[in-house]
Structure 1
Amino acid sequence: MNDQLFSVEEKIVVVTGGLGQIGAEFVQELHGRGAKVAVFARDVSEAKVKEVFEDIHGSDRLAFFSVDITKKPTIEEALDSLESLWGVPDALINNAGLDTQPSAPPEVSGPFEEFPVEIFREVVDVNLTGTFLMVQAVGSRMRRAGKGGSIVNVGSIYGMVSPVQDIYAYRGEETGVPFVKPVAYSAAKSGIYNLTRYCATYWGRHGIRVNTLTPSGVGRETQDAKFQANYTSRMPIGRMADASEYNGSVVFLISQASTYMTGANLIVDGGWTAW
């Protein structure tokens, strides 16, 4: 049975960072449910697209646009092309982001007192300013078209609560240089929540809903086993997330199932913030 409550069929959906681990899952799921999905990413080379979307890369319901979300002209150019192709987006998933992994060199993962301001600005520029520019550009078009829409900003548990630095202490033991989960990602992601609330109240009477989705860490085969063990020991559900486990939340947020929901934060974190 086709459940219209959760249907995204024929919706035009923009996914930023759509070639990344979680973003690619969003794209696959939405495409599989009949949506027209526009992937915004920096690298949309044919080789990269085929690598990530081996089975569906030739679909006429998939479009790829080379976009730097920190630069408004590239966003507007891509949206102009998208409108010519399919029309004004029905939904935007702001998934693109920049984080510092435990494998990062000491110069970008050292003590707070020594954290480089240029790295702080770069992370904030992508994670917060880039999200702002995408929301501004897509929301403006939704409003002009009078069609309403749904915007989902992807936050992080580290935007809600501070990182647990003990999880990363093993890196210092291995290298002799302490690893400190940097402040920039937390600061940038925390700004997402009030950006969401602001836009939800600003555009609420225009039928444009804006919500935040807050995920926790996704397990990867390339992750250090010590990191995974430390992270999982802190996780009430007992494991890290699979990249596909946020798909249902996105479908919910852009479908008819959530029409009375705006300015909210949907937390899907395995219980991390329940402590």
Structure 2
Amino acid sequence: MELSNRVEKIRKMLFKDSNFKLALKNLFCPKRNNHIILEPHMGLGDALINLGLIKTLARRYSHCSFYYACLPIYYHSVAWMLQDIDNVFPLVVSSGREARQYTQFKNAQYLSIGVTNVDIKKFDLSFYDQHQVPFHYRWELSDTPAGSRSEDLLRQLNPKNQKFILICRKDSSGQLHNLNLASTSNLLTIEVTPITNNIFDWVHLVLGALEIHTIDTAFIHFVENTLHADTRQKLFFHRIRQSPTEFTRRLPWQEIKY
């Protein structure tokens, strides 16, 4: 045990030393103009909104490699949505500050998305305007393949293939909200829960639901990415969370105020 501890201590020292040497080397090297760290707001909803923007930047600067900062809890979802973009990679960090430190460490370029100068009444539009990307790309380029567990999750949660409604009442902090729902006694109710670490595993359930009820959380942006504008599904946006921010919705949501 003592020997293994010593080996681990030496390993960490060598790692720190190599990091120090690289940081020192970068002080005397030019910026790596073809490596760009993207720092967005760190919510999963923000990442879903940004997908069309990310794809556009990747095409516009195809000679560059982009590293999109995300929190560990959202890594699998972000990695899944970026999988078909050859020059964009998820960068797991604990905060925006860590993303900026990583930028300096790698001697890379830095771009923020909505970190400053955002109109909170249309923050999603601000993200795109900051980088001169047409806002309609927010939906036109949002297509993402269903997650690897999407069909299995549908069978697991609806084994009898019943008609169902989908309800998302939990926010990113884990708080559950009591929603005003009309009588749905004749329909199976499926709750959106953290049963999977990839939000795209819910694609088939979103596509198959007769009704979708959601609060202001990442799930509403996921539904916006998944359904077409001419959908006939009944969509209900429960505005139970008090927030000064506002975002654009393309789908025909019925708003339920509290």
TM-score by length of 1: 0.31
TM-score by length of 2: 0.33
**Greater strand share, structure number:** 2
- Bigger Rg over Cα: 2
**Greater helix share, structure number:** 1
